[in-house]
């Protein structure tokens, strides 16, 4: 068994490989934020007793999916080859998957925003059904987005290193961080309703970015996460201000 795995971990004596590993772990963790926000919002729709289980299943499925995709890495790399040309752009299977995933995210985020703004509106059956989300429906939707984010994550990893062992370790560490952070993030979102709207805005932006990427308009991830970070900072300041007002009004009585 050790002899079988040895070729995959031959990088252990190479200092530059360790730098690549740490860089890739950091990148995979950051890329996992998109997936984690979606999982947190979606599982909070479930009965409380099912939420933790759904998060574990969803993130566990993400790990399995990424490891399987790594095992078929030559197939994943081939997904970037154009299969047809339209509007002057050669579309690959990766592009089509990103566009489909982006459209799903935009649809989901828009529906949830609609329900958050007008929760009494039951004319839209699709919105009403989000209130009675089943465990199976939640897992299916998580798996659907896992596939999109996993393919994007693996292609990013391939672009950074040729060492399969580094990719495996980075993916396992990143998904483990997601697993540890999922419940605290979901509880934080649940306790702070304004954060839900902010997170849905993030998902809407991520969905549009995926669609743009699929059409060949690459938006640097740094810009996306800088915008998300700035928005989160502003919302954090708003939360502090609200808490101080509550305390001051409480002490006034």
Confirm if 105 and 204 have CB atoms less than 8 A apart.
yes
Mean pLDDT calculated for residue range 4-20: 60
Q: DSSP for 14-62, please give it.
A: -HHHHHHHHHHHHHHHHHHHHHHHHHHHHHTTS-HHHHHHHHHHHHHHH
Reported as a pLDDT band with limits 50, 70 and 90, residue 119 is: low
Mean pLDDT calculated for residue range 101-122: 78
pLDDT attached to residue 1: 44
pLDDT attached to residue 251: 60
pLDDT attached to residue 24: 81
C-alpha span between 88 and 96 (Å, rounded) = 15
**pLDDT tens profile 31-76:** 778 788 888 888 888 888 888 888 888 888 888 888 888 878 777 7
pLDDT attached to residue 130: 42
22, pLDDT greater than 60: yes
* Position with higher pLDDT, 90 vs 161: 90
Mean pLDDT calculated for residue range 104-126: 71
129, pLDDT greater than 50: no
Alpha helices in the chain (DSSP H): 2-5, 15-43, 48-71, 73-78, 93-117, 125-129, 135-160, 164-191, 193-214, 221-252
Q: Which residue has the tokens 């299943």?
A: 57
pLDDT attached to residue 120: 64
pLDDT attached to residue 26: 81
C-alpha span between 244 and 47 (Å, rounded) = 32
Confirm if 170 and 157 have CB atoms less than 8 A apart.
yes
pLDDT attached to residue 12: 58
Mean pLDDT calculated for residue range 226-231: 83
The number of C-alpha atoms within 13 Å of 79 and in the hemisphere containing its C-beta is 22
Secondary structure element (H or E) that encloses residue 85, with its range: strand 82-86
Reported as a pLDDT band with limits 50, 70 and 90, residue 232 is: confident
Mean pLDDT calculated for residue range 240-252: 77
pLDDT attached to residue 9: 52
% residues pLDDT > 70 (the chain): 85
DSSP 224: H
**pLDDT tens profile 159-194:** 667 677 788 888 888 888 888 888 888 888 878 777
């Amino acid at each position: 068994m050790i002899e079988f795995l040895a070729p995959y971990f031959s990088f252990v004596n190479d200092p530059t490989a360790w730098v690549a590993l740490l860089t890739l772990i950091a990148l995979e963790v950051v890329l996992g934020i998109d997936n984690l926000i979606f999982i947190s919002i979606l599982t909070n729709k479930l009965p409380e007793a099912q939420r933790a289980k759904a998060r574990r299943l969803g993130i566990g499925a993400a790990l399995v999916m990424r490891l399987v995709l790594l095992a078929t890495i030559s197939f994943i790399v081939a997904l970037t080859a154009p299969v047809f040309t339209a509007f002057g752009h050669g579309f690959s299977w990766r592009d089509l998957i990103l566009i489909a995933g982006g459209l799903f995210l935009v649809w989901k985020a828009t529906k949830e925003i609609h329900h958050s703004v007008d929760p009494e509106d039951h004319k839209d059956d699709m919105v009403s059904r989000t209130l009675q989300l089943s465990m199976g429906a939640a897992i299916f939707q998580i798996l659907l987005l896992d596939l999109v984010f996993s393919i994007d994550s693996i292609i990013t990893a391939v672009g950074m290193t040729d060492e399969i062992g580094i990719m495996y370790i980075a993916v396992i560490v990143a998904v483990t961080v997601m697993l540890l952070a999922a419940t605290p993030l979901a509880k934080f979102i649940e306790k702070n309703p304004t954060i839900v709207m902010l997170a849905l805005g993030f998902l809407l932006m991520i969905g549009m970015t995926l669609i743009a990427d699929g059409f060949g308009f690459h938006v640097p991830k740094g810009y996306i996460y800088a915008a998300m970070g700035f928005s989160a900072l502003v919302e954090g300041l708003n939360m502090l201000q609200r808490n101080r007002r509550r305390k001051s009004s409480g002490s006034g009585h």
